[in-house]
A and B are shown apart, each in its own frame.
Chain A
Amino acid sequence: MTWLLEPLTYDFFVRALAVTTVSAVVCAVLSCWLVLVGWALMGDAVSHAVLPGVVLAYVLGAPFAIGALVLALLAVALIGGLRDTSRLKEDTAIGIVFTTLFALGLVLVSVVPSQTDLTHILFGNLLGVSAADMLQVLVLAALAVTVLIAKRRDLTLFAFDPTHAFAIGISPRRLSALLLGVLAVTTVMALQAVGVILVVALLIIPGATAYLLTDRFSRMLVIAPVVAGVSAVVGIFVSFYLDASPGGVVVVTMGVVFAAVYLFSPRHGVLARRARRARLEGVPA
C-alpha cells in the first residue's frame, strides 16, 4: 500500500492529481454532448484557437478564461462565416481557421515578452500547479458542471432534435452558443493539466467510450466521468513511477480503456456485433 500512499505525501503530486482528475471529469461530462452533436472536430478547433487569447489575456493582465472565451467565440464565428459565404465545406473552414489562429498564438508567444511558457500551454504544466492555478481550475470546473447539469435536458434536446426545440420556442442557436461557451471555459480549465494539444482527447474519448456502452444518455453522463476520473488517477500514478509525461499517460490510459470497450462492449462492441451476425446467419461464432 505504501506505493499508493507515498506520492500523496508530496504537495505537487496531490495538486497534479486533483487538477487532472477534476479536468478529466468535467471534460467527460461535456464530451457526452460533443460526441452526439458531432462536434469532435469543433472541440479540436476551439481548443487550438484559444492560444492567442491566452497570450493576449496574459499581456493585458486579464484572466486567461476571458481571453480564451473571446477567441473561442471568434473562431466559431469565423468558421460559420467562412462556410456560409464561400463554397467551402465546414471541415475545410475549421481546418483553415483553427490552424491560422493557433499559428497566430505561436507568433504572439514568440514576440510578446511574457513568462508564459509555450510548452506549458501546449502540453500542460502539472508539476507547477500553484494554489491560484488550482483555484482557477476549481472555479471553472464548478461553473461548467453547474451549467451543464442545469441545462442537460435542453442540451440533449438540442443534440437530438434542434427543429423540435425551435418548434416549441426554445432557441437552438442559444443552446449551441451555450455549449460553445462551456466548451471554451472547459478547454481553458484543462490547459493546466494536459495542454492545448491533448485537451481534445479529454473532450472526445470518455463520451465515445460511454456511447459504446449504453443506450441511455443519462447513463452516459455517469459512465463518461467515471471512465475519465479513473483514467486520470491511474495515469497520474503511473506517470509518477515511470517518470513519464502525465498528460500523455492519462490520455493513453483513456485510449486503452476505449479500445477495450470498442472490442468487448456487450452491446455495441465489435466482437458482440460479429457474434450476433454469426448467430443470425446460423454460423457458429
Chain B
Amino acid sequence: MTAPPVPPPAVELRGVEVRYGQIVALRETDLAIARGRVCGLVGMNGAGKTSLLKAVLGLTRPVRGTVLIDGADPALARRAGAIGYVPQAEDVDWDFPLSVRDVVSMGRFTGQGPTRRPSAADRAAVDTALERVGLTDLAGRQIGALSGGQRKRAFVARGIAQSAHVMLLDEPFAGVDRTSQDELTILLRQLAADGATVLVSTHDLASAPALCDEVALVRGTVLRHGSPAEVMRPELLAEAFGVPLAPVTTPADGAPSARPADVTPNAPEEVHP
C-alpha cells in the first residue's frame, strides 16, 4: 500500500482487532472513508458494527491495528469536538430531566471554559442546530417526550451544534417509522453534502441504498466495502448474514431516488416494520 494522497481519509481503520476478554469482536479490519461520504455498516446484530463505531470513537481500544481520524490520533479529534455520536435508543435514559435544548447545548461543551457557561455564540449555534433538524418548536420539551425520529434528530442536532465533521450513528433507524426515517436520511445526506463524514450502523438493508454512498458489510471484520450496488448483492449479503436472501435491487448508480421494496434479512433479530 502506498501512502494515501492528501487529504487523508476522514476515518481510517488499519488491521484493527477488538477483543472483549476471550471474544474477538473484530479482526484484521480495514476501512477508509473519505470526507463528505455516508458509509453504512451493514450486518447482523453482534456482527461487530457497534464495536467498529466504538473503536472509531476510541471508547474501546483495539488490541492490534490503528484508527485514524483525519490521518491523526482520534484523541486529537475528540478534544477538537470533531466527532459526534448518536447513541442507540436503549443506551439513553429517556426519563432524564433535560429538555431538547439542554441536550443539544451539550454539543458546545468542548469550546467552553471549565464551568461550561454558554456564551451568546453558543446559544446561537444551538438555535441554528435546532432549526436545522426542525425541532425549534419542541426545544423546551423533555427529551423523552419526543417521538423516536425526533429523538434521533435531537442527538444529530447536538453533533451539528458541536460542528462535528465525523458523525457516528448506532442503529438510528431502530424503532423509527418510515416518515421519520426518510427525514433523518435527508438530514444526514445534507450533512454529508456540507462535508461531514457519516458512519451509520444498521441491520435494515432497505434503508441503505437511499442513505449511503458506500456500504461496508460487517461480520467479525469488514467483508466487503464499496458502493451499495457493488456490495449489496445477494451472494455477498448471504455471506454477511449467513442466510440466503431474496435479491436486493438497487439502481446501478446508487441514486437515492428509488428504494427497494422491503427487503429485510431473515436474521435472528428484531426487525421493525
B57, B75, B116: the one within 8 Å of A163 (CB): B57
Min distance, Cβ A144 to any Cβ of chain B, angstroms: 16
Name the A residues within 8 Å of B136 (CB-CB). none
Centre residue among A152, A164, A220 by max chain B CB count within 10 A: A164
Q: Which of B85-93, B217-225, B233-241, B242-250 lies at the interface with chain A? A: B85-93
Name the B residues within 8 Å of A166 (CB-CB). 57-59, 78
Q: Which of A70-78, A104-112, A153-161, A187-195 lies at the interface with chain B? A: A153-161
A168 within 8 Å of B (CB atoms): yes
Name the A residues within 8 Å of B106 (CB-CB). 157, 160-161, 164
**Known: A151-B115, A153-B116, A170-B109. Is A215-B142 also a contact (CB below 8 A)?**
yes
B149 within 8 Å of A (CB atoms): no
Tell me the chain B residues, 142-157 only, with Cβ under 8 Å from chain A.
142
Tell me the chain B residues, 207-228 only, with Cβ under 8 Å from chain A.
none
Name the B residues within 8 Å of A164 (CB-CB). 85, 87, 106, 158
B interface footprint on A130-164 (CB within 8 Å = 1, 0 otherwise): 00000000000000000000111110110111011
B110 within 8 Å of A (CB atoms): yes
Min distance, Cβ B141 to any Cβ of chain A, angstroms: 9
Min distance, Cβ B156 to any Cβ of chain A, angstroms: 13
Docked-complex contact A157 and B109, CB < 8 angstroms? yes
Complex CA–CA separation, A161 to B89 (angstroms): 12
Docked-complex contact B97 and A168, CB < 8 angstroms? no
Complex CA–CA separation, A159 to B80 (angstroms): 22
Min distance, Cβ A171 to any Cβ of chain B, angstroms: 10
Total chain A interface residues with beta-carbon distance under 8 A? 25
Docked-complex contact B99 and A216, CB < 8 angstroms? yes
Docked-complex contact A168 and B91, CB < 8 angstroms? no
Docked-complex contact A154 and B116, CB < 8 angstroms? yes
A167 within 8 Å of B (CB atoms): yes
Docked-complex contact B115 and A150, CB < 8 angstroms? yes
Min distance, Cβ A146 to any Cβ of chain B, angstroms: 11
B197 within 8 Å of A (CB atoms): no
Docked-complex contact B109 and A167, CB < 8 angstroms? no
Complex CA–CA separation, A217 to B81 (angstroms): 24
The 7 A-B residue pairs whose C-beta atoms are closest, nearest first, are: A169-B79, A153-B116, A215-B142, A169-B78, A167-B85, A217-B97, A168-B110
- Interface residues, chain B, with chain A CB atoms under 8 Å away: 57-59, 75, 78-81, 83-85, 87, 91-93, 96-99, 102-103, 106-107, 109-110, 114-117, 142, 158, 162
- Interface residues, chain A, with chain B CB atoms under 8 Å away: 36, 150-154, 156-157, 159-161, 163-164, 166-170, 211, 214-217, 219-220
A sample of 11 inter-chain contacts (CB < 8 A) reads: A152-B115, A153-B115, A153-B117, A154-B116, A163-B87, A164-B87, A168-B110, A169-B80, A211-B97, A217-B96, A219-B97
Other than the given A151-B114, A161-B92, A216-B99, 6 more pairs (CB < 8 A) read: A154-B109, A157-B109, A166-B58, A167-B84, A168-B107, A217-B96
